């Protein structure tokens, strides 16, 4: 039976309570059960359900259909139709019963909301939260008492309910982050009489689904990577299941055994490779390492096999194999690599310390600039360089600069301090040795010349090696070849030699301690570094560099240097050269106070040696002043004794060399032969 609702506000909560109250009376009176259905709808609902009736959203003028179950259904429908077709008035006499119905309906809705496993958030037209169920608390980690009445976007990260209120558009299946939780949510506007009065968000925690999805993707990626590793491995790899059926072989296995995988996959390992170590492991369940197999052509194979256990059950065996000859080659390469790594580790540590001590060649003196010009030209060649100079003048620094600006800069730079290595070990250090060459030679060792191949070898303190070693070194320089100690193999090497010494090699040759032929082999491009006392103009630059470097290294405040200290440094004769200067600066920084380095921080010997002394410039003879000519003769005689030539003596006295020569002859200071 159809009926049109004329109530001007439709079936709202209070009217729905009236209808439920009246429907219960009619059901009880006639012993029937009535249903109501919106004409445009497909689902019938009990007319006595307050929540369901309200959810129909029946408006004034809408047509509904009444249905009934029971013998007296016609009478019941007739009476209910009459009630609905009129203007339903609120019966004040039954107001308490209707309030109870509304209250029960509200409680029922709240229980439904609380029992939901999905989060539910309801906001009013001002986006203030009015409902926040238990599931929402669990998912968001927020308490309802802390969010009810607040704006949704204030308490929920990235909330879009205010957008739904504004647009009235429903949103389904949106992903959203709330803290560390990922949710999927549906957002729907609440519309009453064509007006948006609120919005509802229902959401579900999908963090675990996301995690599982990511884990599944990771497993897939890992499997792909694992497959690629197996396919490109140099070792032959095979896998069999617990029945011995071959499930996988890689390309290296195919090459080693000259088979095609499609021909052996699915076959039993016992039928195809009777010697395979995996057969034994299948039977014993224990891994087998270092098993030796010999192929028909005599090639020896070393194999390792391990069982695969899953949940305590053996599911198969994986085996890897390698030819012994290849393994031997790899061991030799490994030994060579280990020797290089060990050397470069030591060099890296020493180089780091070196760079901290002297990062660049500092100085503007003419003598130093001239040396650097020669060195830069030498770097463009592969000729042997002999660097000479006193201890501490920076010979190794210059050797490294030559290497780093040469074509070999990307090749090894190997340093050997010949004076620091015992004579009995120097040959082994330079040329290497074979296993068993002498007591303690437990394996082959590569020498420094071999490590420096195609690069540069720096032989420091070359003047300290014995004549026997000089002969062997001469052969390397001439022939570019050598043998390891205890070895028979002649090893070719292409290496640039830079040697250094603070010894007088010419005097050593006269004494017979240094070979002339080696001297001339080394002295192709000689470079002599000037001592610090001959380039005192560079002392302020060097002092400033060391102050800045040491202060940075020791985390000190960078200090300046007083003029008095600079004067003392420039007056000192510097037997230890630049190395001694750095040590003195480091000491002064450690012991000094204030913003400037002063005399108190300098070692006592530096101050005492530089204390001005009273000097008599005019010598008296028997208390009388001599003639000007006598004094002039003495001055020129002293200058010639010190400087050995008219030119240098003239420069020292500020006179032309011709003037010095004339006066020397005048005073009979030179032989006329």
Cα Rg of the chain, angstroms: 51
Residue 662, CA atoms < 13 Å, CB-side half-sphere = 5
Is residue 548 a part of any domain in this protein?
yes
Q: Indicate the average pLDDT of the chain.
A: 82
CB-count exposure of residue 407 (10 Å: 0-12, 13-18, 19+): exposed
Same domain, 516 and 562: no
DSSP state of 654: T
The pLDDT of residue 311 is 82
Q: Identify the domain boundary among 182, 209, 236.
A: 209
Same domain, 178 and 42: no
What's the average model confidence in pLDDT over 79-89?
82
Please say if the pLDDT value at position 457 is more than 90. yes
**CA distance linking residue 307 with residue 327, whole number of Å:** 24
Please say if the pLDDT value at position 615 is more than 60. no
Is residue 240 a part of any domain in this protein?
no
With beta carbons less than 8 A apart as the criterion, state whether 320 and 303 touch: yes
Is residue 298 a part of any domain in this protein?
no
Q: What is the pLDDT of residues 327-341, one digit of tens each?
A: 566 776 777 777 777
Q: What is the pLDDT of residues 500-540, one digit of tens each?
A: 999 999 999 999 999 999 999 999 999 999 999 888 888 89
Same domain, 523 and 548: no
What's the average model confidence in pLDDT over 62-76?
88
Nearest to 134 by CA among 151, 154, 122, 117: 117
DSSP per position, 450-476: HHTTTSEEEEETGGGS-HHHHHHHHHH
The pLDDT of residue 359 is 43
Q: Identify the domain boundary among 176, 192, 209.
A: 209
What's the average model confidence in pLDDT over 112-128?
79
Same domain, 545 and 497: no
Q: Which of 339-348, 411-420, 545-554 has the lowest mean pLDDT?
A: 339-348
pLDDT band (50, 70, 90) for residue 438:
confident
pLDDT band (50, 70, 90) for residue 385:
very high
What's the average model confidence in pLDDT over 129-139?
83
Domain coverage including residue 130:
116-209
The pLDDT of residue 460 is 93
The pLDDT of residue 354 is 38
DSSP per position, 189-220: EEEETTEEEEEEEEEEE-HHHHHHHHHHHHHH
CB-count exposure of residue 302 (10 Å: 0-12, 13-18, 19+): middle
498 dihedral zone (left: phi>0; alpha: psi -120 to 50; beta): beta
Q: CA distances (Å), 145 to each of 107, 148, 150, 162, 327, in order?
A: 19, 6, 10, 21, 72
In total, how many domains does the chain have?
5
């Amino acid at each position: 039976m159809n009926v049109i609702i004329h109530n001007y506000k439709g079936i709202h909560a209070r009217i729905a309570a009236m209808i439920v109250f009246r429907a219960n009376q009619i059901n009880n009176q006639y012993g029937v059960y009535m249903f109501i259905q919106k004409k445009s709808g497909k689902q019938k609902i009990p007319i006595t359900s307050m929540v369901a009736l309200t959810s129909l959203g029946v408006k004034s003028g809408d047509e509904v259909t009444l249905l009934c179950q029971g013998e007296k259904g016609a009478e019941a429908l007739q009476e209910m139709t009459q009630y609905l077709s009129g203007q339903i008035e609120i019966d004040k006499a039954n107001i308490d019963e209707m309030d109870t119905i509304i209250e029960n309906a509200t409680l029922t809705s709240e229980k439904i909301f609380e029992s939901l496993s999905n989060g539910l958030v309801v906001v009013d037209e001002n986006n203030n939260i009015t409902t926040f169920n238990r599931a929402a608390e669990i998912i968001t980690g927020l308490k309802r008492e802390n969010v009810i009445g607040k704006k949704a976007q204030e308490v929920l990260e990235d909330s879009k309910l205010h957008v739904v209120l504004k647009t009235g558009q429903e949103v389904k299946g949106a992903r959203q982050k709330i803290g560390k939780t990922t949710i999927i949510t549906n957002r729907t506007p609440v519309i009453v009489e064509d007006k948006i009065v609120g919005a509802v968000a229902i959401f579900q925690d999908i963090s675990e689904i996301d995690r599982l999805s990511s884990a599944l993707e990771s497993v897939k990626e890992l499997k792909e990577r694992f497959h690629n590793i197996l396919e490109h491995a140099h070792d032959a790899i095979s896998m069999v299941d617990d029945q011995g059926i071959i499930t996988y072989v890689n390309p290296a296995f195919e090459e080693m055994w000259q088979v095609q995988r499609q021909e052996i996959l699915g076959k039993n390992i016992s039928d195809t490779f009777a010697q395979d170590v995996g057969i034994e492991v299948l039977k014993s369940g224990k891994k087998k390492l270092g098993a030796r197999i010999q192929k028909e052509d005599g090639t020896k194979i070393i194999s390792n096999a391990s069982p695969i256990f899953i949940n305590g059950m053996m599911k198969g065996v994986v085996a890897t194999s390698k030819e012994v000859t290849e393994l031997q080659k790899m061991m030799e390469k490994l030994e060579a690599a280990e020797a290089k790594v060990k050397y470069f580790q030591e060099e890296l540590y020493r180089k780091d310390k070196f760079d901290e001590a002297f990062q660049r060649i500092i100085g503007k003196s003419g003598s130093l600039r001239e040396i650097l010009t020669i060195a830069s030209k030498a770097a463009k060649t592969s000729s042997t360089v002999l660097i000479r100079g006193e201890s501490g003048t920076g010979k190794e620094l210059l050797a490294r600069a030559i290497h780093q600006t040469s074509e070999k800069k990307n090749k090894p730079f190997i340093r050997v301090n010949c004076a620091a290595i015992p004579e009995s070990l120097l040959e082994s250090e330079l040329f290497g040795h074979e296993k068993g060459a002498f007591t303690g030679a437990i394996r082959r060792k590569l020498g420094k010349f071999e490590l420096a191949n195609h690069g540069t070898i720096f032989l420091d303190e070359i003047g300290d090696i014995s004549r026997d070693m000089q002969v062997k070194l001469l052969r390397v320089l001439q022939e570019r070849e050598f043998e390891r100690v205890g070895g028979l193999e002649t090893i070719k090497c292409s290496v640039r030699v830079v040697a250094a010494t603070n010894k007088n090699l010419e005097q050593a040759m006269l004494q017979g301690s240094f070979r002339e032929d080696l001297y001339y082999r080394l002295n192709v491009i000689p470079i002599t570094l000037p001592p610090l006392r001959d380039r005192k103009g560079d002392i302020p630059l060097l002092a400033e560099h060391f102050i800045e470097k040491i202060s940075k290294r020791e985390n000190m405040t960078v200090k300046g240097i007083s003029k008095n200290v600079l004067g003392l440094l420039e007056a000192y004769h510097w037997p230890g050269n630049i190395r001694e200067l750095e040590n003195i600066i480091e000491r002064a920084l450690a012991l000094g106070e204030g913003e400037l380095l002063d005399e108190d921080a300098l070692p006592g010997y530096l101050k005492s040696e530089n204390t001005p002394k009273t000097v008599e410039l005019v010598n008296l003879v028997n208390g009388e002043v001599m003639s000007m000519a006598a004094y002039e003769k003495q001055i020129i005689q002293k200058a010639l004794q010190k400087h050995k030539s008219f030119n240098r003596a003239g420069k020292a006295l500020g006179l032309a060399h011709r003037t010095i020569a004339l006066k020397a002859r005048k005073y009979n200071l030179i032989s006329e032969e």
